[in-house]
Amino acid sequence: MLKRIFAAMLACTLAGPAMAASGNVELQRRDWSFSGPFGTFDKAAMQRGFQAYREVCAGCHSLELIAFRNFADLGYNEAEIKAIAAQYDVQDGPNDDGEMFMRPGIAADRIPSPYLNENAARAGNNGALPPDLSLITKARANGPDYLFSLLAGYKEAPEGVTVPEGMHYNAAYPGNLIAMPQPLYGEDVTYSDGANNSVEAISSDLVQFLMWAAEPKMEVRKRIGVAAVFFLSIFLIFSYLAKRRIWADVH
């Protein structure tokens, strides 16, 4: 039985790359500000990405692991966070009559899903379930590059490729056929800072925001990691010098 399970797991592991390769996936590699051990988030880009998420993505995709108070990381102050939260209706309860009720959101609330449940989400999307975006950049291989390429990868199908009804051709999606309609066409969002709002620019801002959503403590982790490496390097040098002194007579 264990051999069969192992064989099935191995087959799935080997089949993954083969399936991706058969789809002629085209990833656009970008130099992200958060890449590398010293990488940091671009707060202006994250705020633009949040605006793009609200205006383009939030109608279908949830962000259920993020609370409004987390937006302090994006540079919003307390008053701005309260104002953003109040624009959402959040289910609460039960009240004294044992009934659930709706109220304006508060900073401690998580961003509510656009659908009441999974069945409602599928019913509104021809049977497809829009994934929650909280961890999307970590849930996909080459997450940031993949997500950027997906958003900017909608094209006319090559000659000889038939796209079934309800599907769309995307150069970055494994198999190249995706149920999600093209979300960005350029100038979909008007930024208050007058930033570029081409398909590529909005896609980049969304990736910045969703990368933060997936790992909001990334900058802290990197600072701790760099400090730990520095400390261990100093410790290594002193250990080597101590070793040389202790064993000097033997050598």
Q: What is the pLDDT of residue 245?
A: 85
Q: Where are the alpha helices (DSSP H) in 109-184?
A: 118-123, 136-139, 143-151
What mean pLDDT do residues 20-27 have? 60
Judge whether residue 2 has pLDDT over 70.
no
Judge whether residue 17 has pLDDT over 50.
no
- 178 plus 59 within the same structural domain: yes
- 148 plus 186 within the same structural domain: yes
Separation of alpha carbons 208 and 205, rounded Å:
5
Percentage of the chain with pLDDT > 70? 90
- The DSSP secondary-structure symbol of 177 reads E
Separation of alpha carbons 133 and 64, rounded Å:
8
Q: Looking at the domain assignment, is residue 15 inside a domain?
A: no
Judge whether residue 20 has pLDDT over 70.
no
- 168 plus 116 within the same structural domain: yes
Q: What is the pLDDT of residue 251?
A: 58
Q: What is the pLDDT of residue 225?
A: 92
- 152 plus 175 within the same structural domain: yes
Q: Are 38 and 222 in contact (CB under 8 A)?
A: yes
What mean pLDDT do residues 116-145 have? 91
**Average pLDDT, whole number, for the chain?**
87
Q: Which residue has the higher pLDDT, 140 or 19?
A: 140
- 124 plus 197 within the same structural domain: yes
Per-residue pLDDT band for 127 (boundaries 50, 70, 90) equals confident
Q: What is the pLDDT of residue 1?
A: 41
CATH number at residue 159: 1.10.760.10
- 154 plus 182 within the same structural domain: yes
pLDDT in tens, 212-221: 999 999 999 9
